[in-house]
């Protein structure tokens, strides 16, 4: 057995760190927070120049052919730095789906622009009445000649206000089982009938409600078969389910360690000397290690072509729940000063602990709630009967 990432992964890690030293700053981190937009043109430009828009893609498709272990190292560093990657993440996730199930014309139109950082693609899955049960979507797409007419409403379309396309989940057949009547489209966002309404969230991230009123889209923008949208969704969600929040726990731990080393109690003793503080730091370090291992296991299985069953959900479930629990612990351990907010000039460790408390709440909800992941683990991993 070998628990180290390969040597090449550590090389990639060093390269990413060097890149971040040059292109990431506290000012940029603050701007991302204040605007709520995890996307930055200069940063994206630099990433494109470095050839890192799709590092895992094969070289012939414009990637760098990095293996899953190398991608673990790259992802850990980018997330640890809280680099503005969200817009790039959704764009490349959809580009990956286009590469897998799109037509030649779609690939020719989308892939080069995505790789060049010229377009932002956002996700239109959730609806007011369909969150975790995303296949219950009711946004309608009705054929009209070689076009489709779309009516409905989507929730949590982050970056819609700067987006070029939305990867939209629509209902094209209401007379069959819910998974079998869905169709995916890549809909240009800047057109009549698309109305974007800002929604502000606890972590500071801005997201949106998007209304679609008689929005017309050419059939050429359909991704996958008519009524075959669930397949394209599965391709997209498989990537999401392999997620984990080890890097966020790492951010929390580093901030807490910095606070404990630099703050003293009323007697002038460093807080790092306090048994309660030490126990909370120890537990956070343990949860970080476990989160890392569960996440790396998924990468290792992917790299060795093993079927990933419950391992992805385990990584997402454990790390998001651990992040929430440890952020709460840390706020209690730090005491009143933990109330000082992220980027408030008076906050310890520039308020990362306070931010992680708020940020953690979303992690157990988006990309499948903890309950959805527990269902997957119980049914697919443990073989328990389906629940009702």
Partner 1 sequence: MDLRPSDEQLQLIDAFGALYAKESTAERVRAAEPLGFDDRLWTQLVELGALSMAVDEDHGGWGASLLDLELVAEEHGRALGPAPLLESQVACRLLARIEGAAAADLLAAALTADRLVTVSPRTAASGTLALVPAGAVATDVIVRDGDRLVALPLDGTRTVPVTVGSQPLADVPVDRSSLASATVLADGAGAEVLDRALDDWLVLTAGALAGMAERAVRIGVDYAAEREAFDQKIGAFQAVGHRLADVATASAGATLLAREAAWADGEEPARRAELAAMAFSFAAETARDATAVALHVHGGYGFMLEYDIQLYYRRSRGWTNVLMSPAAAARRVADRRYGPKGAT
Q: Which stretch binds partner 1 (CB under 8 A): 27-35, 194-202, 311-319, 346-354?
A: 311-319
Residue 278 binds to partner 1 (criterion: CB under 8 A):
yes
Q: Indicate if 7 belongs to the active site.
A: no
Q: Six-digit token pair at 154?
A: 């989507």
Residue with tokens 């094209």: 172
Question: Does residue 31 sit in helix, strand or coil?
Answer: helix
Q: Which stretch binds partner 1 (CB under 8 A): 151-159, 187-195, 203-211, 378-386?
A: 378-386
Instruction: Candidates 275, 336, 345, 346: give the one binding partner 1 (CB under 8 A).
Output: 275
CB 127 within 8 A of CB 153: yes
Q: Six-digit token pair at 335?
A: 């005491």
Residue 190 binds to partner 1 (criterion: CB under 8 A):
no
Instruction: Candidates 37, 182, 281, 352: give the one binding partner 1 (CB under 8 A).
Output: 281
Instruction: Candidates 49, 133, 265, 371: give the one binding partner 1 (CB under 8 A).
Output: 371
Choice among 18, 240, 311, 354 that is catalytic: 240
Q: Which stretch binds partner 1 (CB under 8 A): 15-23, 28-36, 243-251, 377-385?
A: 377-385
CB 213 within 8 A of CB 168: no
CA 275 – CA 364 distance, rounded (Å): 29
Instruction: Candidates 242, 255, 317, 347: give the one binding partner 1 (CB under 8 A).
Output: 317
CA 226 – CA 43 distance, rounded (Å): 37
Q: DSSP states of 67-110 as a string?
A: -HHHHHHHHHHHHHTT-SBHHHHHHHHHHHHHHHH--HHHHHHH
Residue 378 binds to partner 1 (criterion: CB under 8 A):
yes
Residue 300 binds to partner 1 (criterion: CB under 8 A):
yes
Q: How far is the CB of 70 from partner 1 (least distance, A)?
A: 11
Residue 290 binds to partner 1 (criterion: CB under 8 A):
yes
Q: How far is the CB of 137 from partner 1 (least distance, A)?
A: 23
CA 375 – CA 365 distance, rounded (Å): 14
Report, as residue numbers or ranges, the catalytic residues: 240
């Amino acid at each position: 057995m070998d628990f180290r990432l390969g040597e090449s992964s550590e090389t990639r890690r060093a390269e990413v760190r060097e890149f971040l030293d040059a292109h990431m700053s506290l000012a940029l981190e603050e701007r991302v927070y204040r605007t709520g937009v995890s996307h930055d043109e200069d940063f994206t430009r630099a990433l494109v120049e470095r050839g890192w828009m799709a590092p895992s893609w094969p070289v012939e498709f414009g990637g760098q052919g990095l293996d899953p272990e190398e991608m673990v190292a790259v992802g850990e560093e980018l997330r640890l730095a809280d680099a503005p990657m969200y817009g790039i993440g959704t764009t490349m996730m959809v580009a990956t789906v286009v590469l897998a199930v799109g037509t030649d014309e779609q690939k020719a139109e989308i892939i080069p622009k995505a790789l060049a950082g010229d377009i932002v693609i956002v996700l239109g899955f959730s609806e007011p009445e369909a969150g975790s049960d995303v296949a219950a979507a009711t946004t309608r797409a009705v054929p009209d000649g070689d076009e489709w007419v779309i009516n409905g409403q989507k929730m949590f379309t982050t970056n819609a206000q700067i987006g070029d396309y939305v990867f939209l989940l629509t209902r094209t057949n209401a007379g069959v089982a819910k998974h079998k009547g869905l169709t995916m489209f890549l809909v240009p966002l800047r057109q009549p009938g698309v109305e974007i309404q800002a929604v502000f969230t606890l972590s500071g991230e801005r997201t949106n409600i998007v209304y679609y009123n008689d929005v017309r889209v050419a059939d050429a923008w359909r991704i996958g078969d008519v009524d075959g949208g669930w397949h394209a969704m599965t391709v997209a969600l498989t990537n999401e389910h392999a997620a984990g929040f080890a890097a966020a726990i790492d951010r929390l731990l580093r901030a807490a360690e910095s606070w404990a080393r630099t703050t003293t109690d009323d007697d002038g003793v460093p807080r790092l000397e306090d048994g309660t503080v030490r126990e909370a730091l120890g537990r956070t370090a343990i949860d970080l290690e476990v989160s890392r291992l569960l996440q790396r296991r998924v990468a290792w299985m992917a790299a060795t072509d093993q079927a990933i069953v419950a391992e992805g959900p385990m990584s997402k479930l454990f790390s998001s729940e651990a992040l929430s629990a440890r952020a709460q612990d840390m706020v209690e351990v730090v005491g009143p000063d933990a109330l000082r907010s992220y980027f408030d000039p008076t906050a310890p460790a520039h308020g990362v602990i306070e931010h992680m408390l708020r940020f953690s709440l979303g992690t157990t909800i988006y990309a499948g709630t903890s309950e959805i992941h527990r269902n997957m683990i119980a049914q697919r991993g443990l073989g328990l009967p389906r629940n009702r």
